[in-house]
Chains A and B, each alone.
Chain A
Amino acid sequence: MIKLFSLKQQKKDETSTGGKRKATAAQLRLTKDMNDLQLPKTCITKFPDPDDLLNFKLIISPDEGYYRGGRFSFSFKVGLNYPHEAPKVKCETMVYHPNIDLEGNVCLNILREDWKPVLTINAVIYGIQYLFLEPNPEDPLNKEAAEVLSTNKRQFEQNVNRSMRGGYVGNVYFEKCLIK
């Protein structure tokens, strides 16, 4: 055990040295997360400001499954409390999907109740990609889409295709998001 202070020890009031302010734990962790990103070939990231690792976009272009040929954009906002709190993710492309609602909210357990600080941005990206390969009718955010998926897979496929080509599913209009 150390004895901390010798008597009369005076701390210095230093004038500011400025500029050398130390990095936060979030910045350390994010630098690591970003440098370690290993994306599947269907995913790319876009950073509008390369100095700002907290805000970026993920673009997924699935090459298999119901959503093959589509192009879906997600915004990521990483808070200063990362990795204690999960990043906030929104889907910016309107999509007919049981686990993504029409406002872009994404139902992915690791983004909310199952988030743990050991998880990484990479894990979240894989989780989102997985939603496009295996949409899950058990955890619906878009209840109608989930019902169609669990009762009539062929109809679901047709609905997805129609939405991606640009058009109405029911009374909801979807912008085209197919890429040639």
Chain B
Amino acid sequence: MEVDQPNEQSDASKWSGRWNHIKKVLERPSPFAHPDFEASSEILEFMQENCKLLVIGAGGLGCELLKDLTLNGFRHIHVIDMDIIDLSNLNRQFLFRQSDINKPKANVAAEFINKRVKGAQVVPHFCKIQDYDSAFYKQFHIVVCGLDSIIARRWINGMLISLLEYDDDGNLDQSSIIPLVDGGTEGFKGNARVILPGMTACIDCTLDLYPPQVTFPMCTVAHTPRQPEHCIEYVRMFGWEKEKPFGDIPIDGDNPEHITWICHAACKRADEYGIQGVTYRLTQGVIKRIIPAVASTNAVIAAACSTEIFKLATSCALPLNNYMVFNDVDGVYTYTFEAEKNDTCIACSQKPRNLTFAPKTLLRELIDHLCEDSTLQMKRPGITTTINGKNHTLYMKSIPSIEEATRPNLSKSLADLGLTDGQELIVADVTTPNAIVFRLKITESETKS
């Protein structure tokens, strides 16, 4: 077997044997492959030339993911992260150097990878995921998340679900599926999962797998503290607002002056109750709700996620079904299970239903339709919608102050309300366990549902 000689030739294309290890998997049949898998040299070409990935987060997991994916042969990768590099990142976020401190993570990571891995074309986005709309997310074949925020996870989950398309019989158009590979780590624990939006359990289906942040009972914090954390929490909840040490501003966990002030105040309280152990680090940990990151856990989880992306993109093996847990607190423990799709999940259980109206239809007529249509028979529907990222309440009868404010909308036409073709309406009613999403079809022809 030929051995790679990267030092002798700098041109990647002439580096013979560069992709031998990948080709062994992609150019030979395998009992583990997807039933429709056909070994061919075109698969590697697809990976390198066409397949477009989005990596969300350029932190601990993100650095590992970018390295793994590009060394695997993927080239067209976008990375999005709103953070800048902090000194404390450098021990594990290995694409960053001391001189990169205060620069955007996404940009530095992309530049490093593009320089280091021949052929890589990583495109950075220094912003929030919420800054882009569906047109941006549509361009990707697979999205991978290395985030520590549940809000952001749920957001991208909802975004990918909203991109699903159904035909008139309600059948899912499989080409509209963008798989979501999600990695998460917390100290020595981690997980990797594969979500096929609309088909398998989504983030919201399994929200109980993400335990809510530890909260201490308020009365314990206020009157019977026993742990140093209780004292810090006390200052966070009561002391900050009362004393406003830096004026009327919220606590900034990244501001050392804020943490120092809280730490001192918490020490004082700890002394009163004879509690030991309030330190600057602990204070920052409690305020920022930090669990120390472990480089090896990130590496394992990122590797698992990258492998899943490789399997999804090439069909050379069946993907993880669908949740892998990893724990190396004490030895190594790992197992997989199938997280179940929740039939009443608010994010993925329903396909948008169509409602067809003429633009001059009044909102009142639309509501009458919801109540009178034999398949709906609603009682007192409340309707909200989102236009240009801003929520609007169109009508809601059950809350007097809102009813009064939105009553004039009843006699406005859909066009006057700014509702155009394709607009989604959220309709809640006592007759259904969840709010229902309707997609408005606006045509000049006659009203039908």
**CB within 8 Å of B: which residues of A?**
1-5, 7-29, 31-32, 34-38, 44-47, 50-53, 80-81, 84-85, 101, 103, 105-107, 109, 111-113, 115, 117, 139-141, 143
Cα–Cα, bound, A37→B399 (Å): 7
Contacts of A35 in B (CB 8 A): 380-382, 396, 398, 428-430, 435
A107-B138 contact, Cβ under 8 Å, with A27-B384, A28-B437: no
Contacts of A115 in B (CB 8 A): 212, 215
CB pairs A–B below 8 angstroms (12 shown): A10-B50, A17-B135, A20-B422, A31-B435, A34-B402, A35-B435, A51-B393, A53-B384, A103-B242, A105-B222, A113-B216, A117-B208
Contacts of A111 in B (CB 8 A): 218
CB–CB A50/B386 < 8 A: no
Residue-wise, chain B 142-156 has the 8 Å CB interface mask toward A (1 for contact) of 000000001100110
Cα–Cα, bound, A101→B241 (Å): 13
Selected contact of B139 from candidates A2, A14, A109, CB within 8 Å: A14
Contacts of A107 in B (CB 8 A): 217-219, 222
Selected contact of B382 from candidates A24, A34, A85, CB within 8 Å: A34
Tell me if B159 counts as interface (CB < 8 A to partner A).
Answer: yes
Contacts of B162 in A (CB 8 A): 22
Cα–Cα, bound, A11→B76 (Å): 12
CB–CB A17/B315 < 8 A: no
Residue-wise, chain B 384-422 has the 8 Å CB interface mask toward A (1 for contact) of 111111111100101111100110000000000000101
Tell me if B51 counts as interface (CB < 8 A to partner A).
Answer: yes
A45-B401 contact, Cβ under 8 Å, with A9-B50, A35-B382: yes
Cα–Cα, bound, A11→B313 (Å): 13
Cα–Cα, bound, A80→B428 (Å): 19
CB–CB A28/B346 < 8 A: yes
Contacts of A106 in B (CB 8 A): 218
Given contacts A8-B42, A17-B134, A23-B385, could you give 17 more A-B pairs where the C-beta distance is less than 8 Å?
Answer: A4-B179, A7-B46, A19-B420, A22-B162, A26-B154, A31-B383, A31-B427, A34-B398, A34-B428, A35-B435, A45-B399, A45-B401, A85-B213, A103-B242, A105-B238, A112-B215, A143-B223
A-B residue pairs, 5 tightest by C-beta? A35-B382, A22-B162, A35-B428, A50-B405, A32-B428
Contacts of A25 in B (CB 8 A): 154, 158, 204, 346-347
Selected contact of B424 from candidates A17, A23, A36, CB within 8 Å: A23
Tell me if B312 counts as interface (CB < 8 A to partner A).
Answer: yes
CB–CB A9/B175 < 8 A: yes
Contacts of B174 in A (CB 8 A): 2, 4
CB–CB A29/B346 < 8 A: yes
Cα–Cα, bound, A26→B155 (Å): 10
